[in-house]
Structure 1
Amino acid sequence: MFKSTKWVVAAMASITLWNCGTSTDSSTSEQTTASSTSSLVKAPAFNGDSAYKYIDNQVKFGPRVPNSSAHVKCGDYLVAELKRLGCTVTEQKFTATHYDGSKLNARNIIGSINPQATKRILLASHWDSRPVADEDPTNKKGAIDGANDGASGVGVLIELARVIQQAAQKPSVGVDIMFFDVEDGGNAAVAKDKFTGFCLGSQYWAANKHVPNYTAYYGVLLDMVGAKGATFPKEAFSNQYAGEITRTIWNIAGQLGYSSYFIQEDGAAITDDHLPVNETAKIPMVDIIHLQMNNPTKTFFDAWHTHTDDMRNIDPTTLKAVGQTLVQVLYQEQ
């Protein structure tokens, strides 16, 4: 993610102008939104402890930095696990160019459930981890574990695949689980555009989809969704590009009793993997991302981009709130 304060302020300003100057395409919003939340259908239970284990399994490989052995081994594990759970798996291997000009061996990993379904929902997270602890107060050298920033979203989505595949009643829609690579290696200090080395995997996929002419009704991105007491306000680009879907998800979360996580407030604009999906792939995508409210010095969770972003910060209760909400969203679809 490009998380420069300067960019957030500029993005928020542009969104304010967008809201004042134009109106949303109501026909698109109505077409892509999930079903009414006035009554919730029966959905299987999401297991937060199981999601926690999937996160721990990733972290045990070490930092998943591109061109490292840990990155290769973890990628192989994710592919094998999705296949074991019955997903149709596609590996999109490519060479990414880092902001410093170096070449990175990368792969986006896609696991498809019910691949024959024409109505599809895209669920995503990045699986690489930050190569430098630039926000650590005492030791800025070395890569981080990335338990929350990266692994948490992946763990939730693997558990979601397990829940769906083992359920007696499956959702009628097709689901594509996307693990984007090379998201977290950028450098905002040398910003030349809004990405500055971040979101390379999602940019590549949006311009080179794994299936020709692939589309989805909407997408949901998970980023930093495992910390204790996490708060997920409505991220500003999500409101801009997928406002109706955002409202539907937050309303479902509230009906499930998770309003303390999915708070009914507007958050900052974050350049994240959902932006290429929205702007290049033209698929409305929501970003469920941990943002601190009313804190002028901290935008994200306290251990962000530090060596303390490890398993000590991961809470199965938070994982349950996010995962159960997503499961319910899928089962509301017809």
Structure 2
Amino acid sequence: MKFLPILFFSFLIYGCNSKDSSEQTSEQNATKLVNSPEFSSDSAYQFVQKQVNFGPRVPNTPAHKACGDYLVATLKKYSFQVIEQPFTATTFDGKKLNARNIIGSFNPTAAKRILLTSHWDSRPFSDQDSTIKTKPVIAANDGASGIGILLEVARVLSLQTPKPDIGVDIIFFDAEDWGSSGEETSLEYSGFCLGSQHWAANKHVPNYTAYFGILLDMAGAKGATFFKEGYSVQMAEEVVRQVWTTASRLGYSNYFIDERGSAITDDHLPVNKVAHIPMIDIIHTRQNNLAHTFFDQWHTADDTMEHIDSQTLKAVGQTLLQVLYQEAAGQAL
């Protein structure tokens, strides 16, 4: 994804229709945390490692196909109904990609549905690296971490008896990270987010919708900080509030920072704008640092497993499960 340096939205928008802090605190205290299953950070870590073991998952490569087949098989193993959505994408530099979005559905007959997404492809060049700019990115954090968390969510959901009274759709978007790093292009989103753009315009089920959606990106690094991403606040503020409140109640406020952050071009934008599903982005950013908006290894050859942290995976994954179970119980925070 690409950082867009824009003016922050007015604080009037951020605060519009909100209640004062005392009312919010009273409501939060009145809603109890429901019991939710345990998210295994060790299992999530192994899901990240498995993807990295394939090598860079760059579209049109054997590693990309092999990893995609693994993701499909794993979702099916956990009794998800799986749809593969193949498509041909054209990159900003004119290349044709054989890509596929992978959609897995849990409890597919449930009327109330939550959409969870991440991208599974790797960037084909390390343009932010100080030396090796042409080497493909292994993408342990920028790609594999979000997928690893969602695979663990899928595994946990598959074990529950009875099933929670909610539908969960997991989409692994392809061809997210082959965008321009500064070259001029007329493509929307500078050539990033090709898979989510395709899905938003061609949903896997006609007239599909979800109550809301959550995108994970760069969700597994040591010491990650997840500020309230700017577009998420603008387009799905109530979902942002719910997720950050849940994280805080679970004790993860050192990861989920209660401050508004930068606005980031990412896969949630076409989902909001074209599919009309309110989706937020849980993405590792750093505040007031235009030179290093993301984690240090972003788009470099050093985005490897040594920087993935089980505690970060746990914070994000347990928060997602709690959000799902609060919704299933009709007890959203």
Please report the TM-score for the alignment, with normalisation by the length of structure 1.
Answer: 0.92
Aligned equivalent of 2:59: 66
Aligned equivalent of 1:56: 49
Aligned equivalent of 2:24: none
Kindly provide the CA deviation profile for residues 238-297 of structure 1, in whole angstroms up to 9, marking residues without a partner as x. Answer: 001110110110000000000000010100000100000000000000100000123342
Asked if 1 retains the 8 angstrom alpha-carbon contact of 2:101 and 2:172, the reply is: yes
Asked if 2 retains the 8 angstrom alpha-carbon contact of 1:225 and 1:322, the reply is: yes
Please report the TM-score for the alignment, with normalisation by the length of structure 2.
Answer: 0.92
Deviates more, 1:285-294 or 1:165-174: 165-174
Q: Which of these residues, 296, 317, 332, is aligned with residue 323 of structure 1?
A: 317
Amino acid at match of 1:68: T
Asked if 2 retains the 8 angstrom alpha-carbon contact of 1:109 and 1:179, the reply is: yes
Aligned equivalent of 1:112: 105
2:86 counterpart of 1:93: yes
Asked if 1 retains the 8 angstrom alpha-carbon contact of 2:92 and 2:185, the reply is: no
1:286-305 aligned within 5 A: 286-305=280-299
1:32-51 aligned within 5 A: 38-51=31-44
Paired with 1:235 and 1:41, the residues of 2 have a C-alpha distance of: 27
Taking a change above 3 Å as real, the CA distance of residues 174 and 140 of structure 1, as seen in their structure-2 partners, is same
2:220 counterpart of 1:223: no
2:230 counterpart of 1:233: no
The Cα shift of 1:118 comes to 1.1
The Cα shift of 1:25 comes to 12
Aligned equivalent of 1:31: none
Paired with 1:25 and 1:293, the residues of 2 have a C-alpha distance of: 24
Aligned equivalent of 1:78: 71
Deviates more, 1:82-91 or 1:192-201: 192-201
Asked if 2 retains the 8 angstrom alpha-carbon contact of 1:96 and 1:105, the reply is: yes
Paired with 2:67 and 2:37, the residues of 1 have a C-alpha distance of: 28
Aligned equivalent of 1:245: 239
Asked if 2 retains the 8 angstrom alpha-carbon contact of 1:194 and 1:271, the reply is: no
Aligned equivalent of 1:312: 306
Paired with 1:148 and 1:101, the residues of 2 have a C-alpha distance of: 27
Paired with 2:316 and 2:100, the residues of 1 have a C-alpha distance of: 26
Aligned equivalent of 1:8: 5
Paired with 2:85 and 2:44, the residues of 1 have a C-alpha distance of: 24
Aligned equivalent of 1:214: 208
SS at match of 1:45: coil
The Cα shift of 1:142 comes to 1.3
Asked if 2 retains the 8 angstrom alpha-carbon contact of 1:41 and 1:331, the reply is: yes
Amino acid at match of 2:291: T
Q: Which of these residues, 140, 149, 158, is aligned with residue 156 of structure 1?
A: 149
Paired with 2:129 and 2:93, the residues of 1 have a C-alpha distance of: 22
Kindly provide the CA deviation profile for residues 115-167 of structure 1, in whole angstroms up to 9, marking residues without a partner as x. Answer: 00111000000000110000011211210100000000000000000011112
SS at match of 1:263: strand
Paired with 1:36 and 1:204, the residues of 2 have a C-alpha distance of: 41
Aligned equivalent of 2:191: 197
The count of aligned residue pairs is 319
The Cα shift of 1:220 comes to 0.1
Paired with 1:327 and 1:123, the residues of 2 have a C-alpha distance of: 11
SS at match of 1:108: strand
The Cα shift of 1:174 comes to 0.2
The Cα shift of 1:213 comes to 0.2
Aligned equivalent of 2:125: 132
Amino acid at match of 1:256: L
Asked if 1 retains the 8 angstrom alpha-carbon contact of 2:127 and 2:181, the reply is: no
SS at match of 2:32: coil
Amino acid at match of 1:323: G
1:250-269 aligned within 5 A: 250-269=244-263
The Cα shift of 1:197 comes to 1.0
Q: Percent identity?
A: 59
Asked if 2 retains the 8 angstrom alpha-carbon contact of 1:2 and 1:194, the reply is: no
Paired with 1:107 and 1:219, the residues of 2 have a C-alpha distance of: 20
Kindly provide the CA deviation profile for residues 156-181 of structure 1, in whole angstroms up to 9, marking residues without a partner as x. Answer: 00000001111234321100000000
The Cα shift of 1:193 comes to 5.1
Kindly provide the CA deviation profile for residues 9-58 of structure 1, in whole angstroms up to 9, marking residues without a partner as x. Answer: 2xx35x339939x96799xxxxxxxx998310000000011000000000
Asked if 2 retains the 8 angstrom alpha-carbon contact of 1:37 and 1:251, the reply is: no
Asked if 1 retains the 8 angstrom alpha-carbon contact of 2:126 and 2:132, the reply is: yes
